Structure 1
């Protein structure tokens, strides 16, 4: 009887220990809600952002910019890592996402305006100079910050998506797809058309599980067959097809992100694409000072070798073409979500790069 009782107690304690460990791991993946702030930027929009000041003397502040279809939560692994290293962090929900304003007029999403918003956030925290790191469309804004406000940043880092040259958008959406069809064998910007079309928000919101899994897929080849080409993604969603999500996203993280998409809707976030398939972004780029079209400060590019939309070779070429200073290029056996899938290596490489600036 005593043996059985002790065995039962041991099993209970073991289960509680496992539960506590799981809860600790779960909590570690979240950003501390008490460290979020709201600020009105100069054009009157509210931005929601995570802020942690440097905890070590001499450590700079990092500005981390996410892309589609996400929030500041994309940076959970980098926030935990760099906060422990003593760095300051400003991590906004970009316009159209999370707790930040969600205007549905694409004119609000001009890169020049969003770049000014980012500087307003730095001003709110009295950060005179930062290092900016971006992924996906966050990387596009990194490039525009180099174009419009180079004096506010000591270095620029791009993940997966490289420098989005204004000259690229001198071509129409149809021309871009014809070129990529000839070069890659598929239109790797084809999905922009669906994201820009009326009703795309409703289709995505009606098939969020299907959308999440094809956006964060374990099988990255699906980007070539069922995501990027013209009409492919819409057909995938309307058929409510599914696939396994990448293991770099835990079931809890997946649930949190799908719930956020459901609660916030997709209408505002899709404006990031409407400005690209119209003339809005093309016209906006006319205001970039010619002398700032090249980046004169250190650049880091983290290339995702299994990203078949932002193809690594073309992204590396775009970075090298515009960088006048030291350019550090690291390559990862990863798909598009490199800061999630290769988080430890990315964090280590970014830290080494920053420490050697």
Structure 2
């Protein structure tokens, strides 16, 4: 996707095991500028960051990389989780989360996860790309409560891509003392995100990030970087300036 969406900025890195990653990089021309690492989640792509790549490239540098907080925290000045708050590394009990959220909200927020872990999921998604796109980028955020979050609802609407516990081995080696995030953190969430809910992510992130500030967008769905690009850019710039001031003080 990086080479298609940003051909002039796209690069590729190949790991020792042969895994190849495409990414976007735009170095800053300013020596003292902060570099923003924009991490997209599943099932989105770097194209979802197109507004921020454009605006942040003018303000500093930007790039798209993978999970870094618990592996090389010394390389980061702060983090800005968007929609999904900070979660400690380790196994996640999806069944327990679904049962708990259903008792709170009347529907399980991650009912689609077990289906995404099905062997047939990739094939199903390839066969129904239009339906998958329509569900993931729903025009009405309320649709997620009905068509995506409940158990088996997404499978009935469209078949989606697979996900596995690929980080379990690495995360099992992280000491307990390093499982919290001690970096300055700006959590950005939205009131109309009915899966990665603002109330749940604020509460969870507060447990594990002692240096936290929160921005909760009203009348906004899950894709904050697409729905509120200008406001998000302002937040990122202000947070970056705060980090520079703290570093220099």
- After TM superposition, the score normalised by the length of structure 1 is 0.63
The aligned residue for residue 49 of structure 1 is 23
The aligned residue for residue 153 of structure 1 is 76
Structure 1: which 4+ aligned runs deviate by more than 3 Å?
280-284
> What is the DSSP-based 3-state SS (H/G/I as helix, E as strand, rest coil) of the residue aligned with 1:34?
coil
1:61 aligns with 2:31: no
2:184 to 298, 302, 306: 298
Q: CA deviation at 1:72?
A: 1.3
Q: CA deviation at 1:320?
A: 1.3
Q: CA deviation at 1:42?
A: 3.8
Q: CA deviation at 1:206?
A: 1.9
Give runs of aligned pairs for residues 248-327 of structure 1, distance below 5 A: 270=162, 273-275=163-165, 281-282=167-168, 284-325=170-211, 327=212
> What is the DSSP-based 3-state SS (H/G/I as helix, E as strand, rest coil) of the residue aligned with 1:339?
helix
Contact 1:37 1:50 in 2 (8 A): yes
- Once the two structures are superposed, residues 212-237 of structure 1 have per-residue CA deviations (whole angstroms, 9 ceiling, x without a partner) of 11111111111111111111011112
1:219 aligns with 2:193: no
1:345 aligns with 2:235: no
Cα distance in 2 for partners of 1:73, 1:152 equals 25
- CA separation of 1:281/1:36 partners in 2, compared to 1, >3 Å: closer, same or farther? closer
Which has the higher Rg, Structure 1 or Structure 2?
A: 1
Give runs of aligned pairs for residues 1-357 of structure 1, distance below 5 A: 31-85=5-59, 87-92=60-65, 118=66, 141=67, 145-166=68-89, 169=92, 171=93, 173-237=94-158, 270=162, 273-275=163-165, 281-282=167-168, 284-325=170-211, 327-333=212-218, 334-357=220-243
Q: CA deviation at 1:207?
A: 1.9
Cα distance in 1 for partners of 2:142, 2:70 equals 34
- Once the two structures are superposed, residues 135-176 of structure 1 have per-residue CA deviations (whole angstroms, 9 ceiling, x without a partner) of xxxxxx3xxx2222111111111000001224662x3x3222
Q: CA deviation at 1:300?
A: 0.8
Q: CA deviation at 1:284?
A: 4.4
Q: CA deviation at 1:302?
A: 0.5
Q: Which runs of 5+ in 1 are unaligned?
A: 1-29, 93-117, 119-140, 239-265
Contact 2:34 2:240 in 1 (8 A): no
Cα distance in 2 for partners of 1:312, 1:195 equals 23
> What is the DSSP-based 3-state SS (H/G/I as helix, E as strand, rest coil) of the residue aligned with 2:70?
helix
- Once the two structures are superposed, residues 306-349 of structure 1 have per-residue CA deviations (whole angstroms, 9 ceiling, x without a partner) of 11000101101111111122x22111131111110111111111
- CA separation of 1:40/1:167 partners in 2, compared to 1, >3 Å: closer, same or farther? closer
> What is the DSSP-based 3-state SS (H/G/I as helix, E as strand, rest coil) of the residue aligned with 1:148?
coil
Q: Relative to structure 2, which stretch is displaced further, 40-49 or 335-344? A: 40-49
Q: Which runs of 5+ in 2 are unaligned?
A: 244-249
Contact 1:146 1:292 in 2 (8 A): no
The aligned residue for residue 245 of structure 1 is none
Contact 2:79 2:186 in 1 (8 A): yes
- Once the two structures are superposed, residues 49-73 of structure 1 have per-residue CA deviations (whole angstroms, 9 ceiling, x without a partner) of 1111112230021111111222211
- CA separation of 1:306/1:181 partners in 2, compared to 1, >3 Å: closer, same or farther? same
Higher RCO, Cα 8 Å, sep 6+: 2
Count of residues paired in the alignment? 239
- After TM superposition, the score normalised by the length of structure 2 is 0.88
> What is the DSSP-based 3-state SS (H/G/I as helix, E as strand, rest coil) of the residue aligned with 1:62?
strand
